Structure 1
Amino acid sequence: MNAYQLVADKQAVIFELGDVLYPEKDYLLQVYYLFAQFLEYSELKNAQAILGFMKNEFEQNGPENLFNKTAEAFDIDLKYKHNFDLLHQTARLPLKLLLFKNVLNFLQELVVDRKKIFIVTAGDPEQQLNKIRQIEWNGLEQYLTVFFADELNQPKSEIFQNILNDNNLSANEALVVGANNFDAHQSKMINLPYIVSLEIYK
């Protein structure tokens, strides 16, 4: 099915952020690059070796506990955990984050057909906002309404319901596009149609 056929009868589409609108690894790998450069400048460490290690560890095991693994491998003082965490929140990336090509086309079609576009994202609000500011939106940013679940201190299902209420929509007039079982569960709680992001990018 063509992606746009999925929303032919919808009035609003609600997206998550990372791995839905853009590849999350594109943000994280640039953060790791900046951290490795920082260590080379401040501690005369080998930035290329550190980045290679972090990239490989990330690709094999994900981002969990990555600082501690890197610190152990390269004898990095644990005080730099603060800098590592701060970079996740405030990094000025060397390269803009690019939307998935198919999602860019999809968003443009939604705008042309005057459908409402929402982003409801979990995670540290400062970090999520930093990502949003560094995405190349191609002029689409003016059509987005963003909600930070952690800042609102509400479950996604409640935010979804508020979006429906505030826009006089029924559940079958909206679609949630997510990337994991948590998003699917939160949508199901209020009977919102849900699709895994990968289905759109086929």
Structure 2
Amino acid sequence: MDVNQYVKDKQIVIFELDDVLFPEKDYLLQVYYLFAQFIEYTEQKNAQPILGFMRAEYENNGVEKLFEKTAKQFGIDLKYEYNFNLLHQNARLPLKLLLYKDMLEFMQELVVGRKQIVIVTAGDPEQQLNKIKQTEWNGLEQYLTVYFVDELGQSKAEIFQNILNNNNLSVNQALVVGANKFDEQQAKSINLQYIGSIEIYK
């Protein structure tokens, strides 16, 4: 990883959170573990098969209707969907979220190079904040500025532009690091340089 090729002429680097700084599944699988434990405690249903089902369903089909499928499979009362959703927002994780090793090194290089680090993250703001609070930042937290897309009610492109304006920067002085085509499209719509996070790991 030659970090200089990406940031030598940049003043600010903007990151998404999930699957960019750490794997989203590291958060979700711990939420599912806690939910399975909760159901075992309240309904005396064995947690292990519930967790195994949720893990397999998530890995094969994603998060879509995961609670409904699990409830049907194990006869779980639909009232517990509230608890399932609440855990996504405020779960106290058994294990801290760990940054990808290469991403941690990349961000540390940015700090040494006096580059600004910004996180612009989509999704439920409470859930995203909960992830941030339970990430092992290795001291980087003091250098982070965070924007929650859903809280601001703006597109990522608009937020990117506001960040540039507020820091008196041109598009040539910023870099966006994301993990999907949407992030890429939002960055390129205002002519920001974009790289996929996978590029950091090469």
Superposition TM-score, scaled by structure 1 size:
0.98
Q: Is this contact kept in 1: 2:58–2:66, CA < 8 A?
A: yes
Structure 1's 184 and 70: CA in aligned 2 closer, same or farther, altered over 3 A?
same
TM-superposed CA distance for 1:46, in Å, is 1.0
Q: Deviations over 1:111-133 (max 9, x none)?
A: 00000000000111000000000
Counterpart amino acid of residue 138 in structure 1: N
Sequence identity (%) = 74
Gaps of 5+ in 1: none
128-137 vs 59-68, which moves further? 59-68
**Distance in 2 of aligned mates of 1:135 and 1:3:** 23
Task: Report the counterpart of residue 89 of structure 1 in structure 2.
Answer: 89
* Residue equivalent to 1:6: 6
Q: Distance in 2 between matches of 1:177 and 1:103?
A: 10
In 1: Cα distance, 2:46 partner to 2:177 partner: 41
* DSSP 3-state at the match of 2:19: coil
Question: Cα offset for 1:4?
Answer: 3.5
Summarize the alignment of residues 95-174 of structure 1 with structure 2, pairs less than 5 Å apart: 95-174=95-174
Matched residue, 2:180 = 180
Supply the AA of the counterpart residue of 2:168. N
Give the partner amino acid of 2:107: L
8 Å CA contact 1:13, 1:175 repeated in 2:
yes
One-letter amino acid matched to 2:12: A
| Whole-Å separation in 2 of the counterparts to 1:142 and 1:10 | 20
Give the TM-score, by structure 2 length: 0.98
- In 1, the alpha carbon distance for the partners of 2:106 and 2:171 equals 21
CA-to-partner distance for each residue in 1:33-85, whole Å, 9 max, x for gaps? 00000000000011000000000111111111110110111011100000000
- Structure 1 letter corresponding to 2:155: P
Distance 1:60 1:103 in 2: 26
Does the 8 Å CA contact 2:3/2:109 hold for their aligned counterparts?
no
Q: What is the identity, as a one-letter code, of the residue corresponding to 2:74? A: F
Q: Are the equivalent residues in 1 in contact too, given 2:98–2:135 (CA < 8 A)?
A: yes
The residue type paired with residue 83 of structure 2 is N
Note if contact 1:12-1:117 (Cα within 8 Å) is conserved in structure 2.
yes
Once the 2 structures are TM-superposed, how far is the Cα of residue 104 of structure 1 from its aligned partner?
0.3
Match of 2:68 in 1: 68
List alignment gaps of at least 5 residues for structure 2: none
Instruction: State how many pairs are aligned.
Output: 202
